[in-house]
Copies of this chain bind each other. A is one copy, B any other.
Amino acid sequence: MAMVTAVPARSRQEERSQQTRQRLMAATVECLAELGWSGTTTTVVAERAGVSRGAQLHHYRTRAELVLAAVEHLAEVRREEVLREAAALPAGENRTAAVLDMLARLYTGPLFQAALELWVAARTDQELRAAVVPLEAKVGRESHRLTVELLDADESRPGVREAVQATLDLMRGLGLANTLTDDGARRSRLLAEWARTLDRTLGRAAPNRTGATKKGTREAP
């Protein structure tokens, strides 16, 4: 009988622990995006998450541990959101532009800003850097795989793998260009052209540029 009631009790405890961790991770990314690396202290994060310092220390012993877990977890959550959102995207000739628009929103949002703070702090902190390098590699691989999937890109075609990589490097650059001022109007024009270029590399007919003819813009199949 003791065994029967002990199981749900432990399970409730585990659920509470998981909720605490998720609140701490969400608060960490918020703090990084709003206050930067130096403003993201464990005290500020615990306050914002409404979690006691004791409970926080139980789950994450150091600031680095908390921040790394937060960026990794939130990147996974965003990836799943993007995949769900992608199911509603158009399948026709405007799909590439829609995918780029979705990626651009991700790279100009709080998760990119949080990751930027972590990456830059790790640049001049050897201990942090050792932990961030494998995380960067993991996030990089998963972002690449996600983009290939969203674009339905055939990487056996010459130049396609590099074009997918360039798309993600471009997104990082656009995220950086948007950190101090709203770069939205320039970004939209730029991505409309990038979509056309990318479609040609992917071996698809690009939609017409308004007011231009299709002459010379199709690539032979």
Interface residues of A (CB under 8 A from B): 34-36, 38-39, 113, 116-117, 119-125, 129, 132-133, 136-137, 140, 158-159, 162-163, 165-166, 168-174, 176-177, 179-181, 186, 189-190, 192-194, 196-197, 201, 209, 212, 215-217, 219-220
A35: chain B residues at CB < 8 Å are 124
Contact among B136, B172, B209, B220 with A181 in the assembled complex (CB-CB below 8 Å) = B136
Given A121-B36, A220-B215: A172 touches B176 (CB 8 Å cut-off): yes
The one of B119, B169, B215 that contacts A180, using a Cβ cutoff of 8 Å: B119
- 3 A-B pairs closest in CB distance: A216-B220, A173-B173, A169-B173
Q: Which residue of B124, B136, B190, B217 is within 8 Å of A166 (Cβ)?
A: B190
Nearest B-chain residue to A120, judged by Cβ: B120
Q: With A136-B181, A176-B173, A180-B129 in contact, do A162 and B193 touch (Cβ < 8 Å)? A: yes
Residues on B with beta carbons closer than 8 Å to the beta carbon of A169: 170, 173-174, 177, 190
Q: Is the CB of A194 within 8 A of B174?
A: no
Is the CB–CB distance between B215 and A216 below 8 Å? Answer: no
A171, closest chain B residue (CB) = B173
Query: Contacts A180-B133, A209-B159, A220-B216 known; A36 to B174 CB distance under 8 Å?
Result: no
Chain A to chain B contacts (Cβ below 8 Å), 14 pairs: A36-B120, A36-B124, A122-B180, A123-B180, A129-B180, A162-B192, A163-B197, A165-B186, A166-B194, A169-B190, A171-B173, A173-B173, A173-B174, A197-B201
